[in-house]
Structure 1
Amino acid sequence: MESKQKLLAIIGPTAVGKTKLSIEMAKRFNGEIISGDSMQIYRGMDIGTAKITNDETEGIPHHLIDIKEPEDSFSVAEFQHLVRKKIAEIASRGKLPIIVGGTGLYIQSVIYDYNFSEAPADEAFRLILEERARGIGNEALHLELKKVDPESAAQIHPNNVRRVIRALEIYHCTGKMMSEYQKEQQPDLLYNIALIGLTMDRLKLYERINTRVQLMMHEGLLEEVSGLHKKGLRDCQSIQAIGYKEIYDFLDGRATLEEAVENLKQNSRRYAKRQLTWFRNKMDVEWFDMTEVLDFSKKIKEISDYVEGKLQVKSNT
């Protein structure tokens, strides 16, 4: 039997410290990093997505960052294809692929062998939904999905019409939510994976998120979003991202700047809570608490020891 490719995945909520840890792991295990963030793919959206800077990479190669224009759409299926290809490419160089991010559905789609093509289909119903989407708009169709399958709706962007329609089609044909159908499949893990989750006391995490938002504003988030706004970017996936839609509300006169910043903090905190819930419910994760890390090198060793044991790989240190 052919052995599975080794893969390290680092997941967790926004602002928990994934980037810092991933650099340390890449240095120790001769790794290259693949971004598992659904928004860092967009060029010119750097501050609001907390994209890693050249200095912060410390020379470690990073992949799937800045590969799309902000007006482009991006689906889970496309992400899955690109990441699996990149994992094989990195491994062929004798390096350890490390996927890092907080977009649960995207990372889950890569590591598990889901096959939605086996779910029942109704082409006539699909055509009706496509026509409805053109008539009532993406948001309204997404709202219909939210009523019957709130779990899938929370993970699928309204502009990803094809996937919204597929979720509605599965419900129409089986009476089951796509999320239920997913659970019943019990998919296999495609990789020999060490799946590390970082967590933190909620109040401390929220404090870090609030501080990060203030730092983003200081670093020029308003100017970054204004540039996209001036280009006339409107109904596209990228602008719905947290950090962009709130500033758009200010630029469009729907909120004061102070209100927009507070909304950004609140939405980021809520997102972090949703991320943690998703990871805990959907994936078999080895959790490491980053709340009171007084000695970072000790925590690094603890995590490294776990990775060594799980993947049977040797650390450089």
Structure 2
Amino acid sequence: MKDKIIVIVGPTAVGKTKLGIELAKAFDGEVINGDSMQVYRGLDIGTAKVTPNEAEGIVHHLIDIKDPAEPYSVSDFKTDAAEKIKEITARKKIPIIVGGTGLYVESLLFDVSHGGEAQPNQAFRQRMQQLAEESGKDVLHRKLTEKDPEAAAKIHPNNVRRVIRALEVIHETGEPFSSYQSEKVKTPLYDTLTIGLTAERTLLYERIEKRVDLMMEAGLLNEAKELIETVSEDAQSIKGIGYKEFIPYSKGDCNIEEAVQKVKQHSRNYAKRQLTWFRNRFDLSLWADLTANEQAMQQVFQAVKIHIGRD
């Protein structure tokens, strides 16, 4: 039998963290973080990381497990989260995965690879391009051969752009470029109840903007400055919304108001992409708008009871 798990997904600022805690309290569960930025220590305000007070005693896993300069890939998350599911299940508790990073959650739930969907990393591409120009295309291709011989066998050394993309995928995801198959059948790995949270678009955007304002009041600027001073612009941690927008400000290229507006804009855009991702890629068990009425929460609780076999 497959392990039973609960998954809560949806856009930023929609209430995923709070629901995860409520379900864990009601059904003796533990939360596994499914957000790519909350794994980093020190990135607390900008990632809306759950505080001890908010957690209400509920155990949260895969939070604060990496230093900001360290990489953390999709495959790393899949391995770590799968291990946590085993541990939690062995304790007769319910694993509850909470997060909005679609690639992470999908990699955990299904037997799929996301190599072809790695986000572009311009700094990495520039370094690889420079390596090809200074040392030759063959050096770059040998680098790919060492990391992914199957991909190297299919990509000609003269196709520098494709070689760089393959190396970029490996760098960003930790997975071989050759492992990606766009039409790969998604095989479920768990007995999953997947809850998608949503909200009316205007209200969601209002919540996002208010949250950014509260983050600024709580010290987001100082948190971002410390990160910018600590890691390189190529680090995965600094690519997160709420941090990368302050890089131009730190260089004197924009004022604080412009930086904050960028955080809000990027957060709204991200929320839209998240909703599209989960609607198109996930066969969700149910969608719930917890901002609309109390009945939505009752429906969620009823679905969980049925899923885990409780009256």
Indicate the TM-score class for this superposition, using the shorter chain for normalisation.
0.7 to 0.9
Which residue in 2 is equivalent to 1:288?
Answer: 288
Q: Establish whether residue 309 from structure 1 lines up as the match of residue 288 from structure 2.
A: no
Counterpart of 1:123 (choices 149, 152, 156) is 152
Give secondary structure in 2 for the equivalent of 1:109. Answer: helix
Cα distance in 1 for partners of 2:174, 2:34 equals 21
Q: Please show how residues 29-178 of structure 1 align to structure 2 within 5 Å.
A: 29-114=27-112, 121-125=150-154, 128=157, 132=160, 141=164, 160=172, 163=175, 166=177, 178=180
**Structure 2: where are the runs of 5+ without partners?**
116-148
Give per-residue Cα distances to partners, 1:160-209, cap 9 Å, x unaligned: 1765x71xx57xxxxxxx5xx34x32222111110000001111100100
Quote the offset at 1:249 in angstroms: 1.6
Counterpart check, 1:210 vs 2:209:
yes
User: Any idea what the Cα deviations from partners look like across 1:274-316, whole Å, max 9, x if unmatched?
Assistant: 00000000001111123423x4xx43322110111233235xx
- In structure 2, do the counterparts of structure 1 residues 228 and 310 end up closer, same or farther at CA, with 3 Å as the change threshold? same
Check conservation: 1:29, 1:313, Cα contact below 8 A.
no
Deviation at 1:94, TM superposition (A): 0.6
3-state SS of 2:189 partner: coil
2: distance between equivalents of 1:44 and 1:127? 43
Counterpart code for 2:39: I
C-alpha separation between the residues in 2 aligned to 1:188 and 1:162?
21
Partner Cα distance (2:151, 2:48) in 1: 41
**2:290 partner letter:** M
Overall identity of the aligned pairs, in %: 47
- Cα distance in structure 2, aligned partners of 1:80 and 1:94: 21
Partner of 2:86, secondary structure, is helix
Corresponding letter in the other structure for 2:248 = D
1:123 corresponds to which letter in structure 2?
A
The whole-number CA distance in structure 2 between the counterparts of 1:116 and 1:303 is 30
Name the aligned partner's letter for residue 296 of structure 2.
K
Distance 1:226 1:37, change over 3 A: same
What secondary structure, in the 3-state scheme, does the structure 2 residue paired with 1:122 have?
Answer: helix
Q: Distance in 2 between matches of 1:34 and 1:116?
A: 21
Q: 1:213 to 1:127 in 2, by over 3 A?
A: farther
Secondary structure in 2 matching 1:189? coil
Q: Per-residue displacement from partner, 1:247-295 (whole Å, max 9, x unpaired)?
A: 12211222111000001100000000000000000001111123423x4
Q: Which residue matches 2:12?
A: 14
CA distance in 2, matches of 1:84, 1:246: 33
Tell me the TM-score normalised to structure 2 length.
0.82
Once the two structures are TM-superposed, the CA of residue 113 in structure 1 deviates from its matched residue by 1.6
**Is contact 1:159-1:237 (8 Å) kept?**
no
Deviation of 1:227 after TM superposition, in Å, equals: 1.3
* Counterpart in the other structure of 1:275: 274
CA shift in 2, pair 1:252/1:4, >3 Å: same
Q: Find the residue that maps to 1:247 and give its secondary structure.
A: helix
Q: Given the two structures, how large is their TM-score scaled by the length of structure 1? A: 0.80
Q: 1:175-254, aligned counterparts within 5 Å?
A: 178=180, 181-182=181-182, 184-254=183-253
**Distance of aligned partners of 1:311 and 1:230 in 2 relative to their CA distance in 1, 3 Å threshold:** same
SS of the residue 1:305 aligns to: helix
SS of residue matched to 1:99: strand
Look up the SS of the partner of 2:31 in the other structure: strand
Change (3 A) 1:161 1:108: closer
Shift in alpha-carbon separation, 1:75–1:116, aligned structure 2, 3 A: closer
Cα distance 1:305–1:27, how it changes in 2: closer, same or farther (>3 A)?
A: same
Distance 1:195 1:71, change over 3 A: same
Amino acid at match of 2:24: A
CA contact (8 A) 1:15 1:212 kept: yes
Evaluate the alpha carbon distance shift between residue 80 and residue 258 of structure 1 in structure 2; reply closer, same or farther with a 3 A threshold. Answer: same
What's the secondary structure of 1:185's corresponding residue? coil
CA RMSD after TM alignment: 2.9
CA 1:209 to 1:124, structure 2 compared with 1: closer, same or farther past 3 Å?
A: same
Q: Is this contact kept in 2: 1:6–1:193, CA < 8 A?
A: yes
Aligned residues: 278
Tell me how far 1:123 sits from its aligned partner: 2.8
- Whether the 8 Å contact between 2:289 and 2:296 is mirrored in structure 1 is no
